[in-house]
Amino acid sequence: MTIGFIGLGIMGRPMARNLMKAGHALVVYDVVAEAVNELVAAGAAPADSPASLAAKVKTIITMLPNGPEVVEVITGKIGILDGAAKGTVIIDMSSIAPLVSKEMHCRCAEKGVKFIDAPVSGGEPKAVDGTLAIMVGCDEAEFGPVVPLLKTMGTSVVRTGEVGSGNVTKLANQIVVALNIAAISEAYVLATKAGVDPQLVFDAIKGGLAGSTVMNAKSPMILDRNFKPGFKLKLHIKDLANAIETGHQVGVPLPLTSAVMEMMQALSVDGFAENDHSVLVQYFEKLAKCEILRSAKR
């Protein structure tokens, strides 16, 4: 199958590579020429616009930073809908506000194009490994045909409801991830300030009730002070902003989410927006005037 892929960033690039490894031919587009060139060198064909890409394929995957970019790529000048034939399927794997997904679904339906929202969780490591968790919002009849394609990029592919539900699920996921990172950061700062090696704390509690995938993924980064982005802080801020906005729209207060959002905003102001979201630990370190380090003395 020939697939169109738009958005070759930290996540999109390895996802596109996994599609190629599975035997799919790719037509790719990104505003960053270097990203396109890298995939072309691996065997993909380039497109000079979303419209020209859409004219060449019947299935298109988008992996973009936020809602405005999704709207522009799909409905803007030389956007997907300018080139897509009736029956084309757009699978938007971006993490965006659910209402934007619903709006795109309606705009696409007017042109006879199907729209599915399928955001992902797992960050760059799982994008590389092809083990992402994929949350799908679509009509039930549309789900089965896209599952084999999505399983080339993820091990968990779950339909959560109609269009928009995928991104509601992703917002719930991002709340849980953010609060987990905040909790382990606060705990490790407490341990450090109290004179207990945070590495030993991690070793002791990771197999108990406090253990989690987030803890296992982010603790080594925190303890090694490795904040190279697998998922950038600024993108998590975007997701929490979408969560808070959606909460307001449906009448759900999100006090814990709002608190962590302000912690992340403070770090962004301090210049950490491009770091991995595990850099959240530095907010707690600053409050306690201490720095977490894996002990080299024990």
Query: How large is the angle between the packed helices 281-288 and 165-193, nearest 10 degrees?
Result: 30
Rounded to whole angstroms, how far apart are CA atoms 256 and 236?
A: 15
* Catalytic residue of the set 126, 170, 218, 238: 170
Q: Would you give the DSSP letter of residue 298?
A: -
Question: Can 86 be counted among the known catalytic residues?
Answer: no
Three-state secondary-structure class, residue 179: helix
| Residue 266 tokens, joined | 């403070």
In a 13 Å sphere around the CA of 208, the CA atoms on its Cβ side amount to 6
Rounded to whole angstroms, how far apart are CA atoms 262 and 285?
A: 16
Query: In Å, what is the CA distance from 279 to each residue of 24, 215, 219, 267?
Result: 37, 14, 11, 8
In a 13 Å sphere around the CA of 240, the CA atoms on its Cβ side amount to 24
Query: Please, are residues 45 and 22 in contact by the beta-carbon 8 Å criterion?
Result: no
Rounded to whole angstroms, how far apart are CA atoms 122 and 125?
A: 7
Question: Dihedral through CA 143, CA 149, CA 150, CA 155, nearest 10?
Answer: 110
Catalytic residue list = 170
